[in-house]
Amino acid sequence: MNKKILFDFGHPAHVNFFKPAITQLLKEQYDIHISVLNRGKLPDIVKREFSGFPVYVLGKHQGTVFSILWEANIKKLLELRKLCAKIKPDIGVAVYGFLMGAAMRLRGRPNIQFSDDPERKINTRLQKWTASILSFPIFFTSPKGKIQRFRALKEWAYLSPDYFTPNVEALKEYDLEPKKYIFVREVSNGSLNYQGQAANVVAQFANKFPRDYKVILSLEDKKTANQYPENWIILKEPVKDIHSLIYYSKCVVSSGDSMAREGAMLGVPSIYCGFRIMLANKVMQDEKMLLCDTPENTVQLMQQIVDGTFSFECQDIFRGRLREEWEDVTQYTINLIKKYTLQ
């Protein structure tokens, strides 16, 4: 009888993180089930990316504190418990997965969790308590017991050259030329991660972007579109092949930390202008592909990038070097799942 795995997704980045592993596990005859938080376009993305899989939409995230605490956490936990009792998974797998961990622990079954955000101390404590294995990225210096470390950042699971090949054809839909445009990501401050950050950070300096470059904008809160220049191209979610659009850009400017790191790992000079101070960001700062600064300084940094004032490692050489130095995160994940499903 095939082992049953329940993957839980709470963010679009989690889809990318687990997709290569799920693809491989499916080939090896594992029975894959997916639970997904009802958050924006996330259920649509999951159903598109995993067509034919059993997908269960649980809880809800509407951006308010009440919704986050009640619908996205307490209510989702109750629904996860019911789902686990119904489908009886052999193992649960999630990023920031203490809800999954609690549901699986109540069933006496193992779960694997990932985190790259130890700065969120309450979440980290809950993960340590509920996880069978909790894995942190390369910056974590003291793995022991059920706390492990993989030698990479979690985004490398899907951005490594082993799993991602850029496709220049993705640019045609937006009439773009390689390295002749700037990629912008603007996150909403409606999530707990960004509460306290100013709303629409990039909009504050949107009219000061270099005139010779087109701008494409991944905008989380589409209701604020009128705050950006009319000639900016606003992407419609879910975006097909968004990482190729990032790869061929001249520069990434992001008020969210995840896409800033993605840009850097794709070998694109990236600027993070949000307010979070994170060890994961520092890894890419030390690799000299990510600049973290205030919104007030971002315009000058961006201009220096497009003018060539800053010297960055060649894109392909940089990515090849990371491939040699870093661990295959997808294979690491698969090995953990196999270890616990063999028990």
Q: Please give the structure tokens belonging to residue 245.
A: 């659009």
pTM for this model (two decimals) = 0.92
Q: Would you say residue 193 has pLDDT above 80?
A: no
- Note whether 4-160+327-341 and 168-325 share their fold: yes
Question: Per residue in 305-331, pLDDT tens?
Answer: 999 999 999 999 999 999 999 999 999
What pLDDT sits at residue 87?
A: 96
Q: Is the torsion defined by CA of 82, 85, 89, 95 positive or negative?
A: positive
What pLDDT sits at residue 12?
A: 87
What pLDDT sits at residue 194?
A: 63
What pLDDT sits at residue 192?
A: 59
Q: Would you say residue 19 has pLDDT above 90?
A: yes
Q: Would you say residue 210 has pLDDT above 90?
A: yes
CATH architecture of 4-160+327-341: 3-Layer(aba) Sandwich (3.40)
Percent of the chain with pLDDT over 90: 81
Q: What is the CATH number of domain 168-325?
A: 3.40.50.2000
Lowest mean pLDDT among 190-204, 239-253, 275-289: 190-204
Question: Per residue in 71-111, pLDDT tens?
Answer: 999 999 999 999 999 999 999 999 999 999 999 999 999 99
What pLDDT sits at residue 148?
A: 94
What pLDDT sits at residue 195?
A: 64
**Separation CA 332–CA 157 (nearest Å):** 9
Q: Would you say residue 180 has pLDDT above 70?
A: yes
Delimit the domains of the chain by residue range: 4-160+327-341, 168-325
Lowest mean pLDDT among 106-110, 114-118, 176-180, 339-343: 339-343
